[in-house]
């Protein structure tokens, strides 16, 4: 029997592939056999090096996804350099923190543009390519705040709630066209985006007290979930938001 998790011959685009969750997912996909286009505002040299060390091809695509200007180019470059596009991981994202009464329009727009607007239009560009060939896997990176409200991150919460709805909408439209659209909702993962929470002794303690696993997650904890959702093993999984959270939502 062939391995249902084998991604040999597949081409993946991973945004925000420089560090953290994006890097971990890109490397996990490569370990499963995929070639990877690593997209980031700064060149993802370290990620590409790790992928090549696994014997897979890696291409670096520089793109600032704070606007949709580079979206079509990202897809075109991946197809041109790696010969196709089978998998899209929408991981690039930013966060801004302030009390709701003090939150600025600039901070609202910056987060929504990167975390939601660019995600949709990248799904659209990749989706057109995938629909034309009749197959593809799209995985959006959601959040615990897809399910909960959080505090002091209104635009981030709105964007990640939007990711949940968008994932289901696209699954509804594209499942019959051979495209799987799902999402991963990371719990509290130790990355640059959560550095402020880790450094806040009170918040850090309250977070750890609620996580049944008793620890922050590592970016590598997301790799297996991504490989699953991008593989044949998930061919009948559609519009699902898979929480990888150490049990946070179970409490």
Return the DSSP state at 218: P
Question: What is the distance between the alpha carbons of residues 94 and 144, in angstroms, rounded to a whole number?
Answer: 15
Range of the domain at 192: 11-245
CATH number, position 150: 3.40.50.720
Q: Is residue 5, in this structure, part of any structural domain at all? A: no
Q: Is residue 6, in this structure, part of any structural domain at all? A: no
Pairing of strands 136-141, 179-186: parallel
Helix, strand, or coil here: 150? coil
Q: Is residue 1, in this structure, part of any structural domain at all? A: no
Instruction: Count the domains in the chain.
Output: 1
Please list the alpha-helical segments (H only) found in 154-200.
154-174, 195-199
Residue indicated by tokens 């939150």: 103
8 A C-beta contact, residue 89 and residue 25: yes
Q: Is residue 250, in this structure, part of any structural domain at all? A: no
E-only strand ranges, 112-244: 136-141, 179-186, 241-244
Q: Is residue 71, in this structure, part of any structural domain at all? A: yes
Q: Count of CB atoms within 10 A of residue 182's CB? A: 25
Q: Is residue 3, in this structure, part of any structural domain at all? A: no
Catalogue the active-site residues: 156
pTM: 0.97
Q: What's the pLDDT score for residue 196?
A: 84
Q: What's the pLDDT score for residue 1?
A: 58
Question: What is the distance between the alpha carbons of residues 29 and 36, in angstroms, rounded to a whole number?
Answer: 8
8 A C-beta contact, residue 141 and residue 21: yes
Query: How buried is residue 198: exposed, middle or buried, by Cβ count under 10 Å (0-12/13-18/19+)?
Result: middle
- Residues 47-69: tens digit of each pLDDT: 999 999 999 999 999 999 999 99
Q: Is residue 169, in this structure, part of any structural domain at all? A: yes
Q: Count of CB atoms within 10 A of residue 31's CB? A: 16
8 A C-beta contact, residue 231 and residue 32: yes
* Average pLDDT along the chain, 251 residues, taken 10 residues at a time: 93 97 98 98 97 98 98 98 98 96 98 98 98 98 97 97 98 98 97 87 94 97 98 98 98 92
List Cα–Cα distances, 106 to 71, 146, 160, 212, 229, in angstroms: 22, 22, 18, 37, 34
Q: Count of CB atoms within 10 A of residue 126's CB? A: 26
Q: Is residue 125, in this structure, part of any structural domain at all? A: yes
List Cα–Cα distances, 183 to 120, 170, 171, 229, in angstroms: 13, 11, 10, 8
């Amino acid at each position: 029997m062939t391995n249902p998790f084998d991604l040999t011959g597949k081409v993946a685009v991973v945004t925000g592939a420089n560090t953290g969750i994006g890097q971990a997912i890109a490397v996990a996909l490569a370990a499963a056999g995929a070639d990877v286009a690593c997209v980031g505002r700064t060149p993802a040299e370290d990620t590409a090096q790790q992928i090549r060390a696994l014997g897979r091809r890696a291409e670096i695509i520089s793109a600032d996804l704070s606007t949709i200007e580079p979206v079509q180019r990202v897809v075109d470059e991946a197809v041109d350099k790696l010969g196709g596009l089978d998998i899209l991981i929408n991981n690039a994202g930013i966060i801004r923190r302030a009390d709701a009464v003090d939150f600025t329009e600039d901070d609202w727009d910056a987060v929504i543009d990167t975390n939601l607007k660019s995600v949709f239009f990248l799904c659209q560009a990749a989706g057109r390519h995938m629909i034309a060939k009749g197959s593809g896997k799209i995985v959006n990176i959601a959040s615990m705040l897809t399910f909960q409200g959080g505090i002091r991150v209104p635009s981030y919460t709105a964007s990640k709630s939007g990711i949940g709805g968008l994932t289901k909408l696209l699954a509804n439209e594209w499942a019959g066209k051979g495209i799987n659209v799902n999402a991963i909702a990371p719990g509290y993962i130790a990355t640059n985006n959560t550095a402020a929470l880790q450094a806040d002794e009170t918040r850090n303690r309250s977070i750890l007290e609620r996580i049944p696993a008793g620890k922050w997650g590592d970016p590598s904890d997301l790799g297996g979930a991504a490989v699953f959702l991008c593989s044949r093993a998930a061919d009948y999984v559609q519009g699902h938001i898979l929480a990888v959270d150490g049990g946070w939502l179970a409490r």
